[in-house]
Amino acid sequence: MPGADVPAPARPSPGHPAPAPAPPPAPAGPAQPAQPAQPPLLRLRSALTRSSVETIVSRSSAGFAVLFAMPALPSIAASWGWLPLGWAVGFVLVVFVQLMVILVAAIARRGVRASMAFFALSYPILLVLWPLAITDTAAARGNQPWLWFLLDVAFAYAAVAFPWRWAAVYSVGVTCVYVFIRTVPAGGSASVGFALIDGFYVTLIGAFILMIVTSLRAAADRVDAAQVTATREYARAALNHASELERVKVDALVHDTVLTTLITAARAESVDERRRAVTLAQNSLDTLQHSAGVFGPTAVPLAQFAERLADAARLLSSRIDYSTGPLDERLLPAPVAEALYSAGVQALINSLQHAGGDATAGAGDTVSRTLSVHSESFDDVTVQVADTGVGFMADAVPPARLGLRVSVRERVHMVGGVVEVLSMPGGGTSIVLSWRPGTPS
């Protein structure tokens, strides 16, 4: 029963029915429904992206800046002995108010770069103003400016707010300013060697911070680029899949309606046969105009699906035996029910056309045909169409024949089902359509 052709008008003849075919094979043992894999786009969206990196870097920098400012509190208290009150309060307010503003901005994800850039630019200005604010250089001798504790904070903010090249230039330039101020009396009168060691230490930390931020951003940019590429490929694949689904639907629809009508009309000889051809043509037009499906868009109870398939078998021929195995109360997705129903009907039509015998001949039919639907909890839903007809070699079916390839195989494969064809010349045919719950449809 391989063909793309459809049954010719039946001609009655006397005879006796052949024995019923063997019962369908027992269903497989129980298995838990498979869980669908996570879509690739969801996996990509959960990965590290540039936006998430910016959020992590900005919030961690703002939080650690507050912690790095805590060790400066004893030096701030000591500096009030040689700083005028106005300058002392001004330095504290400018620094700590900005730190709090940046922390709030990082949490709210608003104005983070602007606030960090403002701090990074104001920090060297504070360094330059420090010697100008000192009035008692003798008291300041031997004490480093408490702004030193925030040097790495300024480097971190520059790494976040500026491009990496400008951040590197900023780190070197601010370090040079600090080293110079550290050697003057207002900056503690440190030796050049000691000031250079301080400068080298903070430069290493600044370079490390800049390297981490730049590396994270580069990795995130690669992830973003991969996500854009994957999105385009996924959209292209979805379009191709939709086109393939539509092709299979159109091929099957044309085969089941247009070709059926044309072949029936070509073979019509008697008046009754011509009337049947006209009726079939009208039904085909209705099918083409209302091709949304048999079951509609909602899920279909398994028992209702089996009943509709049995009704279709009775309409095709009263000589088709129908049986059901255990049917649970599960719901079949509408695309699955539509595919199994259409493929099962087409398998019956192929049997009526190609298996031999005459399904409308009453006792004269020499070929037995059986339709069975069965399922158990967590098992495959199985539809089996079997006959005791002439059989065929499945591998020898020409590709141009659409009945088995498109109307049966591709229909079921498109919803994640499996089609098994068991046939041999002279040995009858059994076509088993199965679909497992949990399979993407």
Domain boundaries defined on the chain? 44-229, 297-441
pLDDT given at position 121 = 93
Considering the entire predicted model, what is its pTM?
Answer: 0.47
The residue that leads in pLDDT, 75 or 261, is 75
Q: Above 90 in pLDDT, residue 88?
A: no
Range of weakest confidence among 114-128, 299-313, 353-367, 394-408 = 353-367
pLDDT given at position 75 = 83
Helical residues (DSSP H) of 254-333, grouped into ranges: 260-267, 271-289, 302-316
pLDDT given at position 15 = 38
**DSSP H/E element including 332:** strand 331-332
DSSP output for 380-396:
PEEEEEEE-S----GGG
The residue that leads in pLDDT, 2 or 195, is 195
Q: Above 70 in pLDDT, residue 216?
A: yes
pLDDT given at position 277 = 65
Tens digits of per-residue pLDDT, 277-335?
A: 666 666 655 555 444 455 656 788 888 889 888 888 887 777 889 988 878 778 888 88
Contact 294, 338 (CB under 8 A): yes
CB-based burial label for 352 (10 Å; 0-12, 13-18, 19+): buried
Task: Report, as an integer, the average pLDDT of 151-160.
Answer: 90
Report the chain's mean pLDDT, rounded to a whole number: 76
Task: Report, as an integer, the average pLDDT of 424-429.
Answer: 86
The tokens of 325 are what?
């195995």
Contact 312, 355 (CB under 8 A): no
β-pairing, 429-435 vs 418-423, is antiparallel
HSE of 185, CA atoms in CB hemisphere, 13 A: 9
CATH T-level fold of 297-441: Heat Shock Protein 90 (3.30.565)
The residue that leads in pLDDT, 340 or 440, is 340
Contacts of 8 (CB under 8 A, 6+ apart): 263, 264, 267, 353
SS3 213: helix
pLDDT given at position 99 = 92
pLDDT given at position 245 = 63
Contact 407, 353 (CB under 8 A): no
Q: How confident is the model at residue 25 (pLDDT cuts 50, 70, 90)?
A: very low
Contact 207, 198 (CB under 8 A): no
